[in-house]
Structure 1
Amino acid sequence: MPKKAGTEEWRKKRRQEYLEMKMYRYYIFCEGQETEPKYFRGFKKLIEKNPIYRDMVLIEIEPCQAETMRVLGMAEDYVKKNKIKKGQIWCVYDKDSFPPKHFNGVVERAESLNKENLELQYHTAWSNECIEFWFLLHFAYYTANNHRSEYTTFLNNKFKELGIGKYQKNMDDIFNILMEKGSPKLAIRYAKHIIKNGQGKKPAEIAPGTKVYELVEELVKYLPEDEKRNFVDCP
């Protein structure tokens, strides 16, 4: 038994040393258990294939199965438990039907935490009402403040039009579908325009709206050049 415990400690120490070697560190905490994690794992997979950055970038994706403030709370607990002192902490969450006070509170709490350690910064990649709004921006500029069910209907119709079946939550290939059938470049442009038009408003007041594009832009920096062209104009 002591030998096994010693082996576990050794592995833990080696893993910590490996993580500390990474120059760029991203810890992504997702409200959803599968939809958002599967989407961001698409970026992680491509970055890990990029010989330029794969040994420099750490991306850890944590499904939370929690909402708004609880996502941030779980991120804080994770940081303390693992003694993380450097990196970017991203909270990916939806408004859904939660009170504006809770939804806006995540941003306010993150801003407060960021004053404590300039090398460890919290970011909020929110969607109002849901992540599906970010997905549909890959296909159209959409500003109607409809119920989240309308976003799913839109995606269903678009997927049918493209001959790729029906949109479903937790799709394994959602990242590839949006990359190959949609336009990530336009999604970023549309999302930025919507946020600009909502300047001065709180997140709950920007409906619909999303800041998922901010996390996407961060991760895109480490993609292979041929994949990066799907998101940004490359020289």
Structure 2
Amino acid sequence: MANRIQTGKKPRKENKRNANPSGHLIVSEGVNTEVNYFNGFKEDINRKFEGTIASYTIDIHGADKESIRAENFDNAIKMAEARGIRVAWSNECIELWFLLHFSYLHTPISREAYYTKLSAELKKRGGPANSSKF
């Protein structure tokens, strides 16, 4: 049977591929906890896709955002977006990110409460019970 395009149907998009990124850059405020956290993701990704992804990198750098003026931070984001780089950033306190792995929060709490709640969650799971271990 001959190939026909039926009325109202779009032609098949054969041999079309979306460009995949060549890598990701993750910059964190902290130089220890955050870097270790994201390196864990990097290791998982590398194990899962070992030998299947060519020329893909994940670079993780710890930096102190507190020393960067808000104006410079905003300009860096605008410059990246102008070059087609997609940008994301998260809450300034990674402990909140960790806590949300264990419990649902829909009300604001203080940074000190993050540590208390996170310590309790980690203690339940056999992890460090002291927030100074983060």
TM-score (norm 1): 0.42
Tell me the matched-pair count. Answer: 114
Q: Which has the higher helix share?
A: 1
Which position in structure 1 is the counterpart of 2:113?
Answer: 150
Cα contact 2:116–2:131 (8 A) shared by 1:
no
Report if the CA contact (8 A) 1:33-1:63 is conserved.
Answer: yes
Amino acid of the residue matched to residue 58 of structure 2?
Answer: I
Residues 41 and 61 in structure 1, CA contact (< 8 A), matched pair in contact too: yes
- The correspondence for 1:44, drawn from 42, 45, 61, is 42
CA RMSD of aligned residues (A): 2.9
Of 27, 30, 43 in structure 2, the residue corresponding to residue 29 of structure 1 is: 27
Corresponding residue for 2:88? 124
1:169 and 1:33 map into 2 onto residues whose CA distance is 15
Q: For 1:18-64, what per-residue CA distance to the aligned partner results, in whole angstroms no more than 9, with x for missing partners? A: xxxx9521111111010100000011112222225453420111111
> Within 2, Cα distance between the matches of 1:43 and 1:158?
21
Structure 1 residues 136 and 67, CA gap change in structure 2 (3 angstroms): same
Alignment of 1:103-142 (within 5 A): 106=73, 108-118=74-84, 121=85, 123-128=87-92, 130-142=93-105
Identity of aligned residues (%): 26
Return 5+ residue gaps in structure 1 as ranges. 1-21, 74-101, 172-235
Separation of aligned partners in 1, 2:76 and 2:122: 36
Please name the residue that 2:9 is paired with: none
Higher fraction of strand: 1
1:135–1:127 Cα change, 3 Å = same
